[in-house]
A = this chain, B = another copy of it.
Amino acid sequence: MTTSPTGADAVDPAVREELDRLRKSIDNIDAAVVHLLAERFSRTQQVGHLKARHRLPPADPAREARQIERLRALAEDAELDPAFAEKFLTFIIAEVIRHHERIAETGGTGTTPSGT
């Protein structure tokens, strides 16, 4: 096997292969996560509508606190930074709130935030 550089792409083929392998794996994981998030938002939409229909308070800070604690513990087990896991959940919940605000704006069932 030759390692001679070809033009701009002067990378050892074995290294390039290893990089491609890792990137393929990263792409697979990203696809899985995107599909899981689609599923998650479908569930939170259902929660939003359920709460609106039954006049339950849209936000539930106690539920949110429990979610954060649980995710931090899971992250620790998985050797993921617990602070990042918390940041991640906050990021997702912000999107859930955005969805529910949109439901409220477009009439729908007249609900507001949350559905966590």
Contact = CB atoms under 8 A, between A and B. Distances in A.
B46 A36 contact: no
A30 interface: yes
B27 A70 contact: yes
26 contacts: A11-B54, A12-B54, A19-B51, A19-B56, A22-B43, A23-B63, A26-B43, A26-B116, A27-B67, A27-B70, A29-B36, A29-B37, A29-B39, A30-B40, A30-B67, A30-B74, A33-B33, A33-B40, A33-B88, A34-B71, A34-B74, A34-B75, A35-B74, A36-B36, A37-B85, A38-B80
A59 B41 CA distance: 32
Interface of A: 11-12, 15, 18-19, 22-23, 25-27, 29-44, 46-47, 50-51, 54, 56, 63, 67, 70-71, 74-75, 78-80, 84-85, 88-89, 91, 95, 116
Identical chains in the assembly = 2
A33 B29 contact: no
Residue in A50, A88, A89 whose Cβ sees the most chain B Cβ within 10 Å: A88
